[in-house]
Amino acid sequence: MKTHLSISKTIFILLVLLVQSFISLAQDATATAAAAAPAAAPAEATSTLFNGGFLLLMSTIILLMVVIVILGRIVRTLIEEDTYETARKMKAGKITGILLLLMSLSTASFAQDAAAPAAAAPSMIFGMDTSLFWIMMGVMVFEFITVMVLVYILYTFLLRKGLIQPMGSILPKWLQFNTMMGNDIPLEKDAELLTDHDYDGIQELDNGMPPMLKYIFVITIVFAVYYWVDYHVMKASPLQIEEYQAQLEQGAADKAAYLLKAGASVDENTATLLTDATALSTGEKIYATNCVACHGDKGQGGVGPNFTDNYWIHGGDIKSLFKTIKYGVPEKGMRSWQSEIKPGDIQAVASYILKNMTGTNVAGGKAPQGNLFVPGSDSAAAAKPATDSAAAAPAMDSVKAK
């Protein structure tokens, strides 16, 4: 009796620990999702504890645990001491140990996931964190196997005691194992099945295909009909090529969203003049790294044109300057920077030049080149390249963006 109470207490404690563990994991998953979710979409970080999928899995896990407890008590009550001792050791030892190990591993695994930086929203299955979902599924599978083992022990005991009939005698003949495998013909009747094929004394029996294989063959035919109706007639489910195309489209959409966020979707048609300090500071760093060699530290010009006056060879608006930096002017020695500077950074350095240099007219600047550009006018479209010798200077690895 004391042993029974001890095992019951152990199982009860395991059940409490299991529920507490999953509640803790669910709270961690909610916190992780809330940290990764954008501020504009707080609905995505809803509590996992109130998620329908989580509640369903949690209820199933608890139900299976209760079934294990009930079956365990029945097994302990019915079988004799030796079998009981084996079952007790298996249940109280192996099952308890594995459950504890599973819970500890799952908790540690999820804790590592939760500790990882939330750079992006975690992947979800049925509204649950993927790690939590698969941990709970693993526990459910383990509990189901445990239930099957206990049922088998109980069935074996009752069968040995003659309290129930063998399962095969209850089932119809066509569902019995020997019939399914084609072994239902007595050995005495083998002579009736012998064929006239004789190979060095080895004779062949005229056995038919095992019924189980026939059933499988029929099932494949039924499935083929279902597949044809579902995929080709009603077209309710996508074909593999359609799934592939959908994934490609989703990948392209995700890439476009990422590039938009990173500023890579900016081009000469969408570039705008930036005025915030962060963007101008970024542009200043890019200018100091790539442009000073040809245009001077203050934009006064050198090998390249002067940025501090209001004269421009290829247009002085943000879109024209962006285009010049991006594609370059090879015939005048201006290289293309689109392979080395991201579009967002090209927009930043162009904005820095226009906001912090143009119109300052620093002393010692290079003579004006090109046409006078008046902001807000159409002079950029009418500007013509200058023909003086300074514009045709040798090529240098810098931004000659005029």
Is there a domain that residue 312 lies in? Answer: yes
Cβ burial of 231 (10 Å; 0-12, 13-18, 19+) is middle
- 336 Ramachandran zone, left/alpha/beta (phi>0; psi -120 to 50): beta
Do 241 and 144 fall into the same domain?
Answer: no
Same domain, residue pair 69 and 120: yes
pLDDT for position 332: 82
Residues 293 and 155 in one domain: no
362 & 334 share domain: yes
Whether 151 and 100 share a structural domain: yes
Is 93 a member of any domain? yes
Contact 327, 335 (CB under 8 A): no
Q: Are residues 258 and 281 in the same domain?
A: no
Which tokens go with 77?
A: 């009550």
Whether 15 and 119 share a structural domain = yes
Instruction: Please identify, among 145, 160, 175, the residue that sits at the C-terminal boundary of a domain.
Output: 160
pLDDT for res 129:
75
Tell me what pLDDT residue 130 has.
79
Domain identity same for 253 and 314: no
- Residue 29 forms part of a structural domain: yes
What's the pLDDT score for residue 396?
38
CATH number at residue 350: 1.10.760.10
Residue 129 β-bridge partners: 124
In a domain, 132, yes or no: yes
Q: How far apart are the first and last CA of the chain?
A: 94
> Which among 143, 172, 117, 170 is positioned nearest to 57, based on CA atoms?
143
What are the pLDDT tens digits along the chain (402 aa)?
444 445 555 655 666 666 666 666 655 655 555 554 444 344 443 455 667 777 888 888 889 888 888 888 888 777 655 454 554 555 555 555 555 555 555 444 444 444 444 444 445 666 677 787 888 888 889 989 988 888 888 888 888 777 777 766 666 766 676 677 766 677 677 777 777 777 888 887 777 778 888 889 999 999 999 999 988 998 888 889 999 999 999 999 888 777 666 666 788 888 889 888 988 999 999 999 999 888 988 888 888 898 999 899 888 899 999 999 989 988 888 889 988 888 888 989 999 999 899 888 888 888 988 888 887 654 444 444 444 433 333 333 444 445
Task: Give the pLDDT score at 220.
Answer: 95
- Residue 180 in any domain: the answer is no
Shared domain for 308 and 238, answered yes or no, is no
Question: Nearest 5°: CA angle at 318, between 383 and 392?
Answer: 45
Judge whether 398 lies within some domain: no
Residues 6 or more apart whose Cβ sits within 8 Å of residue 159: 166
Residue 300: other Cβ atoms inside 10 A: 19
In a domain? residue 271: no
Same domain for 102 and 23: yes
- For residues 9 and 105, membership in a common domain is answered with yes
b/e sequence 200-210, b meaning 16+ C-beta within 10 Å: eeeeeeeeeee
Please tell me whether residues 12 and 134 are part of one structural domain: yes
CA distances from 343 to 215, 220, 221, 324, 380 (A): 63, 55, 57, 12, 21
The strand ranges marked E within 31-159 are 124-125, 128-129
Q: Which of 160, 178, 194 is the endpoint of a domain?
A: 160
Whether residue 402 is contained in a domain is answered as no
Where a domain ends, among 231, 262, 293? Answer: 262
Domain total of the chain: 3
Whole-number pLDDT of residue 263:
62
Range of the domain at 249: 211-262
- The residues near 134 (Cβ < 8 Å, ≥ 6 apart) are 125
